[in-house]
Structures are given as structure tokens and as C-alpha cells.
Structure 1
Amino acid sequence: MKTTSIAALALTLAGILSAGGARADGHYVPGVEGIQAASVPPPGMYYLGYLINYDIGSFRAPGSSTRLPGHNTGTVTALANRVVWISGHRLLGADYGMEAIVPVIRTSLTVNAAGISDSRSGVGDIYVGPLVLGWHGQQWDAVAAAGMWLDTASTSHPASAGKGFKSAMLTGGATWYFDAARSISGSALVRFERNGHNSAGLRPGSQVTMEWGLARNFGAVQAGLVGYSQWQVSSDSGAGTGGQRSSRHAAGAELVYPIPGAGMFLKAAAYKEARARAGTGAYPKGSLLRFTLVKAF
């Protein structure tokens, strides 16, 4: 399934704390959605389980795309439990629904440059989305959504599951089918996050994430190319922050396998980040594996 979300879940680490203590990132994890990411399913109740492993090969030094010196690695494994309800009601000509995400996260960090060696597990910040709108045309789908990442998880250690602040998230996107049989598709899903202040009064800058997918049907199976880009679009604010802004870009491939008799889809995707630039704090660069289970009830 596809739609907003998502989304999903929250990578515990999209940046390490800088000297000023600000994280230049939001809650949303790029790479959670791919093929037909902007297509909302028909009315019904859906469970989506996203199992994600982000392997950090290195960190970029603050304000640059230069590799941080020394041995600096990490692994973030997350299971994002997402429930989506698409009602039989219409709003603005679209199917109306709502969603919620509860991520469970395990993070291990070894960042010698910052003197950090820490591993933690826990429930991450919860997402509540009271607005999901899905439109459907003969050869297109579109989605719009809005929700809030809550500040519900622990932030007591470097590898803790929480971000330490709330984020409002807006989502929009479209899928285009290049033929009447809908066997070839292209999609783009864009999310905007406006982050709140943490307990120290620091505010990470706003973030835009774009996920895309190009796919073709091979019988019942779908396969294609996927990718993501993520940009910090406003500067961090608060003591110790600067005007630097982070970004990352990745590409990969995805396979979608339906199990019609069980009302399920299985998805697998792999991404490699080609470029990453740090903002106020050090920023990870690595590769991501995602396995998704979609179950209709």
C-alpha cells in the first residue's frame, strides 16, 4: 500500500548532536515509500509493517560533505507499525481516511570523533494523522495528508529512540500510469516537516523529503527503480547553531509481490546514498534496506 504516512516511523539518527546540541533533521525516514507511493488504497482498514535497517558507513563533518575523521559507524533498525483507515466518506472529491504510526527502534552508535559508544532500544515518537485524502483517475492517483509527530519517546542518551521535539508534517504526491492497463507507473511523494523546539530551546530547521519510483508489472509482480532526496530548507535556531543546511540523495530498486488469497502485499527495497551533506551537526551517510508487509482487513 501506499499513501502518506507515513509514514512511518522515525530513524533515531539522522544526525548526531553538535556542540550546540541541535539535530538538523525531522522525524520522517526517507526510503519508507517507493513504487506507487502516492496511491491510496480503497476504503478499508490496513496494517503496514515497515522493517528498516539503516547501515551508517560514515558521518559527514558539520557544514560539509567531508567525511568525519576516525572510526564512526552505526546501525538503526526500526519496525514501524502503521494503521491506516480509509473510510467510505468523501471530502473534496477524495476518499477520506486517517492513520497512526508507532515505531520500535534499536540504535547502535560508535562515533569516536564525538566520544560516543551507545546502544539503545525503545518505542519511538508516535505519529497521528487525522487527515488522509486519496483521489483516483483513470490513469492517475493523488494524495494529500496532514499530521503530527509527537514528542513521546526517551531522549536521555545519544542512541535513544526520541527526537526531543514535535513535528507537523504535510504530504502531497501523485502517481501516473503510462498505459490504460496501469502496467507502467511513475510516482513522486513529497513531505514537509516543520519542527518544534526541544527542551533546551533549540529548533531544527524545516525539512522536505521527496521519494520517487518508476515501475513495471511483470505478471502479478512489480519491479522498478526507487530513490529519495531530503533537504533541510530552513536553518536551525538556538544557541550554538549556524546557517548550514543538511541534504542527502539515494537511489535503489524495489520488488512488490502480492498474495491475493491472504489480502497481503510483500515489498523489499534497497537504497544506497550517493551524497550527503551535514548541517549544524555531523550527518550520517549509508545504505538502507526495507521490508514491508501490507495487510488488508
Structure 2
Amino acid sequence: MRYKTVMTLAGLLAAAPLSSPVLAANGHYVPGVEGIGGPAVPPPGIYYRGYLAHYDIDNVRDGQANKAPGKNTGEVTALANRFIWITDKTFLGASYGAELIVPLQRTSLDFKGIGVKDSDSGLGDIFVGPVVLGWHGKQWDAVFAAGHWFDTASYEPTEPASIGKGYGTTMLTLGGSWHFDPDKRWTFSALSRYEIKTEQDDTGVTPGDSYLIEWALSHRLDSGLNVGLVGYEAWQLESNDGGPADKAEKHALGAEAGYFWPGHGLGLNAAVYQEYNNEAGPEGALLRLHLTKVF
């Protein structure tokens, strides 16, 4: 049984369908990069948001959430550059905008227990989102968005740390926030992503669709500091077509704090997450910073 588990994990991590299986739950989107205020679309303008994420891998889990034998560690550092344009146009009562994400990433895997060691760095797959719709009420906000992760980064099916995924992903976003009081001091928000993948290069494998939710319960203090409890839940909904049958899962709980300086059009948020009960992939801790600049 132990030999079978090791071989299954080695297949998941070194073979085709889960290339670079360290940040996402089998897709492109990294859970945990949004938290407090994630579903709120800003007023018309041009915005830059830089996401700096560092993921420390503590262990690797199989499809039944069992820890792989031996020492299996690694780390990923990524900087995602997101450019957002919210126009003064409306559609279906919502503000309309578009976005572009250009990620940079460094991955190092040292899975001694299952015999996987690899590293890579470079420009990641690029996301183009031609549709961002934001609605705003007195005590609520909502968002819908659609876009595509293009297969633009380097990918090798025999290199598990490849920066590219080797396939494209259409991503649909739906989320909302509810402010418990008129002053919007207490807020609960949830942001969901649904990912639909194409066939992977050189392997003939099509990864199964995936779904995730990022949530936050936050409170804005008198000083303007936002603090809150955050988390994410991610599931691969379908088995891979032509690859390993195990479906990936990720679950995490964490805390976040953030502050916005209106006079400078600048915001800074920091969050830390600890994953638990993952399946078919790594498990670890995520540290995330994001910087927002209003132009």
C-alpha cells in the first residue's frame, strides 16, 4: 500500500495533468490572493494591484488526504501584476471594466520522500479579462467577471516545477459583500471562481473543472485599519480526462489586516493562511501581500 501511494503521488506531481501543482488546486487561479474587499469593484479609474505571495510546502497529500512518507518540502514565490480599468460605462446596471494579469514566479520542489526534485522561474501564463461588472447597493456589493488564462509560459511535462501549466483556462468569477451596518464597519464577503481547462500540451490530458471560494469576515477600526478572519476552500470537481483520477482539494484559514491612504491613492494588505486537509497535492502555509495604487 505504501509503495502504491508513493507511486500515485509521484505520478500526480511529475506527470502531466498537474504541472506546477503548488499554488492552485489544479487550475491557474491561486486561492488566498484576495481576501478583505475582494468582491468590491472600485469606482471608474485605472488601478494597479501587485500580489506578492510566498508559499511554504510542509508536506504532500494523496487523494485520500494521507501524508506522503519522507520529507517533502518546497517553496513558491510569485508576483502577480494586475492592471484594472473601470470605465464610466454601465451594463445591466453595473459598472463595466476590464483587467490584465501578468505573473512572475519562482518554484523550488524538494520532495525527497517521493523522489521529485526540480526548480524553475520565469513569466507565468497571462490572464486577459475583457468583462468585469460591479454592482453597488447601500449595504452590499457584487461582482461578475469572465476571462481567460492563456498558455504563454514555459512548460515541460517532465518538469513538475514548470512555471506554465501547458493548457489554457477560462475563468468565471462571481462574488459579493454584505455590510452589516450602514457605516460598513462590519463586512462578510465571498468570492468564487470557476475554471474550465483546455487539453494540456504534449500529454493529451484535460484537467477537470475546478471551483473555489475565498471568504472574509472583517471589521474596520476607528483608525481605518481593516482586520479580519479569512479563508479559502478549493475543489477539483471532475477527474482529469486521460490522467490520474484523484481530484485536488485545498482548505485554509488565516488572518488579514489592511489600510488605505486616500490622499496617496495607496492601499496595503497582508494576510497569512495555514492550509489543512488538502488532497492530491502539497499542503503548507501562504503569506500574501497586496499593494493597490489608484491612478
- For 2:219 and 2:15, the matched residues in 1 are separated by 47
- For 1:71 and 1:163, the matched residues in 2 are separated by 25
- For 1:188 and 1:236, the matched residues in 2 are separated by 27
Of the three residues 253, 271, 279, the one matched with 1:251 is 253
**2:68–2:114 Cα contact (<8 Å) kept:** no
Of the three residues 187, 210, 221, the one matched with 2:213 is 210
Query: In the superposition, relative to structure 1, how do residues 265 and 16 fare at CA in structure 2: closer, same or farther (>3 Å)?
Result: farther
Structure 1 residues 157-196: aligned runs within 5 Å: 157-196=159-198
Say if 2:75 is the partner of 1:50. Answer: no
Deviation (angstroms), 1:158: 2.2
Deviation (angstroms), 1:71: 1.5
**1:123–1:161 Cα contact (<8 Å) kept:** yes
- For 1:270 and 1:31, the matched residues in 2 are separated by 9
Give 2:286's aligned residue: 288
Paired residue type of 1:289: L
Deviation (angstroms), 1:267: 0.3
SS for the counterpart of 2:278 is strand
**1:93–1:135 Cα contact (<8 Å) kept:** yes
- For 1:293 and 1:148, the matched residues in 2 are separated by 23
Structure 1 residues 1-297: aligned runs within 5 Å: 18=12, 21-23=16-18, 25-61=26-62, 63-156=63-156, 157-199=159-201, 200-219=203-222, 220-238=224-242, 240-242=243-245, 244-278=246-280, 283-297=281-295
Deviation (angstroms), 1:131: 0.1
Paired residue type of 2:173: T
SS for the counterpart of 1:261 is helix
Paired residue type of 1:26: G
Task: List runs of 5+ in structure 1 lacking aligned partners.
Answer: 1-14
SS for the counterpart of 2:85 is strand
Task: List runs of 5+ in structure 2 lacking aligned partners.
Answer: 1-8, 19-24
1:197-224 residue CA offsets vs partner (Å, 9 max, x unmatched): 1121101111101000001111211101
Paired residue type of 1:216: H
**2:208–2:236 Cα contact (<8 Å) kept:** yes
Deviation (angstroms), 1:275: 1.4
Deviation (angstroms), 1:241: 2.6
Q: TM-score, normalised by structure 1?
A: 0.90
Deviation (angstroms), 1:20: 5.4
Paired residue type of 2:83: V
Q: Percent identity?
A: 51
1:234-283 residue CA offsets vs partner (Å, 9 max, x unmatched): 11111x432x32211101010011122210000000000121011xxxx0
- For 2:52 and 2:11, the matched residues in 1 are separated by 25
Aligned length: 276
- For 1:245 and 1:124, the matched residues in 2 are separated by 23
Query: In the superposition, relative to structure 1, how do residues 232 and 226 fare at CA in structure 2: closer, same or farther (>3 Å)?
Result: same
- For 2:267 and 2:106, the matched residues in 1 are separated by 25
**1:253–1:269 Cα contact (<8 Å) kept:** yes
Query: In the superposition, relative to structure 1, how do residues 17 and 42 fare at CA in structure 2: closer, same or farther (>3 Å)?
Result: farther
Which structure: greater helix fraction? 2
**2:210–2:237 Cα contact (<8 Å) kept:** yes
1:271-297 residue CA offsets vs partner (Å, 9 max, x unmatched): 00121011xxxx000000000000000
- For 2:123 and 2:26, the matched residues in 1 are separated by 19
Query: In the superposition, relative to structure 1, how do residues 92 and 17 fare at CA in structure 2: closer, same or farther (>3 Å)?
Result: farther
SS for the counterpart of 1:153 is coil
- For 2:15 and 2:150, the matched residues in 1 are separated by 23
The two structures, once aligned, show a CA RMSD in angstroms of 1.4
1:136-168 residue CA offsets vs partner (Å, 9 max, x unmatched): 000000000000000000113321210110000
Paired residue type of 2:225: V
Give 1:10's aligned residue: none
